[in-house]
Structure 1
Amino acid sequence: MILQNRFFMPPENRHNWSRLLITLEDVTARKATEQALRNAQKMEAIGQLTGGVAHDFNNLLAVIQGCAELLEDMPGQDQELTGQILRTTDRGGALTRRLLAYARNQPLEPKAIDLRALVIGMQDLMTRTLGGMVEVEVIAPMTLWTARADPGQVEDTLLNLAINASHAMPGGGKLTIECENIRLDADHMSETPEMPVGEYVRIAVADTGVGMSPDVIERAFEPFYTTKGVGEGSGLGLSMVYGFAKQSGGHASIFSEEGKGTTVKVLLPRDSQGAERSSVASKSDRPTGNGETVLVIEDDPSLRLLTEHTIKRLGYVPYTVEHAEAARALLATGQSFDVILTDVMLPGGTSGTAFAHEVLAQHPQARILFMSGYPAEAASQSGFVVTNNVLLNKPFTRDELARALEGALRKA
């Protein structure tokens, strides 16, 4: 309880202190509200800062990725080095997408994912993140089924659980991530009675740490519950894991014993369609143009130049401008374009989506593609951006651009 004191002495009593009025007010709730407001304002500011940094960082990643793709086509280049650059930019793009998703509360985007490849691909990252005192082992059989979930959230879940495990092993230890196929039938209902019968992929993250008491296990998935000291954790990590698993049609559970470590098991539904195509398509699968014209509106000069080169190599004729006013001037000359590719956020007071509405009002059959480092921002600004599936999230690959241009040209 927080008490606020107020003292008051009537004027006629001040010469001899014969009467003193003291009031006490419980301001606990008010102080808590003020603190919550300060936290909310701080998180809003962090979200805005994160969005701005992520947008600029995505532009940088797009240039690095695009240049690496162009180098990849040149004879005599070290394919291993260019491949490493592309893999690194892909991970950087995934990182900024997760930051933006956190800042803007994006919905889940479940996909068919190769869980074995995802978990193995994160092993080095977790080893570096947890430091040399924690040994990381991954067990994932070749026969592991394809899971259906949001791949970014699966990565977040694994990192969350790995970091929690490292805190439980302050003197070091071993972290084991094991994946296996599970068929839930009547015999398993006692463990997960709320889960429907079916096929799932299970990820078990086990540590050799201090373990949990039964009371802690019972409350571990509650939001804001934490055994850490003030300022050492929000208590949201495990609740986010549980919420993600349930929203994905799966389940999360904890098995632990004090002094013997903890295992968190996450069930994700098996995907019935199989893994998605690899994002790295072969050159023969990459659609190309036949001299069609593409107007590119992009304010970043490096990215504008790179996009021009890439579009030209894909068989199109590019025209590039910096902002909507320059694009208007081009259209006013009578020049027509088969496709318009515009950034959502543009300088000069007119956004890409506002310019698109102008064009569509005069030319309803115009084919327009959007690109942005703000996927959620773009979605909120224009409903048809998401509805018609024409938003390229930076950094996008050459193959993604090629398929988007082909898709736009196929539209009536």
Structure 2
Amino acid sequence: DTAVPYEASEKIPGCGAAMRAMGIGVVYHGEGLRDALVAVAAESAALSHHSFAGCASAVVSAAGCALAREGVRVEAWPHIIVEDLLPRLEHYLLSRPASRRPAAEEVSRQRRRFAEPWRGGGSQMTLQHIADPEHRDKHFAALGGGWDALSSVYISYEALRLADGDWEKLVHYAGAHGGDSDSTLAIAGAWFGAAYGLERTPKKQWAAVEKFAEMCEMSAALEQIRVHLHGGVAPAAVSAPLSHAGKAALVTAGGAPLQITPAGDGRLAAAAGPAEARLKEPSGCVGAALVLSAVGDSIGFRGSEWEFCEHGKKIEAAMERLGGALALVPSRETGWPVSDDTVQHLATLRAIIDAQGALPMSSRDAGALDGLMRRMAHWHVLTWADMDGRAPGKRCGRGVQALSQPGARWDTAVAYEASEKPQGCGASMRAMGIGAVF
């Protein structure tokens, strides 16, 4: 908790926090868990993107899944973000212990800045404009292209709003533009899955995506955790699966060691119950959010080719040559791996699975939050070994490096940054799953 200090800077961080937080909201949804969602998402961002914008991007990323699960109209999200979520985040950050508390004036200024596009005005697109790849490129570029904390979640929102429940349109709007297309389609894909499930998407497109079996196992465990948090039966105690072989790991980030044993190979789903153990498909809304986020990530990434293409029109032409958006079948075997977005998103959710017996139920549950975040820091460090060929962001890498230092604590390793300059989207790209749970 001390590895990444709060960063007071005029630079808006990247989207690394947003791209890994979506699933938090599929578990932490509902008004009664709203403060917990804000705390978990904000602290997940602080592992690398420790600024108001970084934390806010993760909160919005997670909240998108939560609001989708609650059946809130997409058009109502901006009002909730501006009038409810951002004030909650400001209050949470200013209620931290003095050693981690940013300046009130800086937080208030950054809150107003982050809220600007959500208030409407010239930032909103029309259906006619977003359907034109050249106009889409121009508008998204003016917002930040999805590379930073604010534009990543706002572009994802605009794509989801204007796609209006149509997966094919979402792939074009969020994945075929000259910005950070894998992060925006990963975030929007998670929100789409939380809102609509898998029924509106072709099975052939998601059944072969990299880490599919792993996500099926994880979704079974996370679905039970979600049900338990909302008054259902307590989940069985299981560990999160690793995507690679590993021994029991000793977690030291942030206090006394925690013993975490990698499971995998079906053990996680088996522990969830006989029916779940036989699952060959993702479980519930959690599974849909995980899988469609990974599919969106893979398509937008395209082995780095499309993520770093500056012209959405070229991406759309390439899609058409491959048979159209619905004909794309991303998989590791066909050269369409997931990027760092999915690896970090799953790391976030592995921590929730590991901490399932003592998850925070409010922002004031300091002990449970500390335990969860120590596990999250551990998983982000551990899964960094799976980044070959996935184009991870520099700020996320620096966060992992800081958390890896002897004696590093999750709450102070990365300093809070008060900045007006946009950073990357790492916080938002990994936060979606938080909202799938809380």
TM-score by length of 2: 0.23
Q: Which has the higher strand share?
A: 1
Relative contact order higher in (CA < 8 Å, ≥ 6 apart): 2
Q: Which has the higher helix share?
A: 2
TM-score by length of 1: 0.24
Larger radius of gyration: 1
